[in-house]
Amino acid sequence: MQKTYSSDLTASQWQAIEKLIEVKRKSVHSLKLVVEAVFYLTKNGSNWRDIPQGFPPWQTVYWYFRKWSRNGTWKLIASELTMLHRQKAGKQSVPTVAIIDAQSVKNSATATQHIGFDGGKLIKGRKRLLIVDTMGHLLWTHVCPANLADGKAGVACWEEAEQVNPLLEDLVLMYADKTFGGHFKDQLETMYAMRVEIPKEPVNDQPTDSKLVIHKWRWVVERTISWLANNRRLARDYERTLLSARNFIWIAHIRRTLKCVCR
Over residues 208-221, the pLDDT tens digits come to 555 566 677 788 99
pLDDT of res. 120: 87
pLDDT of res. 207: 58
pLDDT of res. 206: 57
pLDDT of res. 178: 87
pLDDT of res. 217: 79
Residue-wise pLDDT for 66-125, tens only, equals: 999 999 999 999 999 999 999 999 999 999 999 999 999 999 888 889 999 989 889 999
> What's the distance, Cα to Cα, between the start and end of the chain in Å?
26
pLDDT of res. 182: 86
pLDDT of res. 200: 77
Domain residue ranges in the chain: 11-261
pLDDT of res. 219: 87
The CATH number fitting domain 11-261, selected from 3.30.450.20, 3.60.21.10, 3.30.420.10, 3.40.30.10: 3.30.420.10
C-alpha atoms less than 13 angstroms from C-alpha of 205 in its C-beta half-sphere? 0
**Residues in the chain, pLDDT under 70:** 1, 203-214
DSSP 117-182: EETTTTEEEEEEEEEEETT--EEEEEEEETTS-HHHHHHHHHHHHTTT-GGGTT--EEE--GGGTT
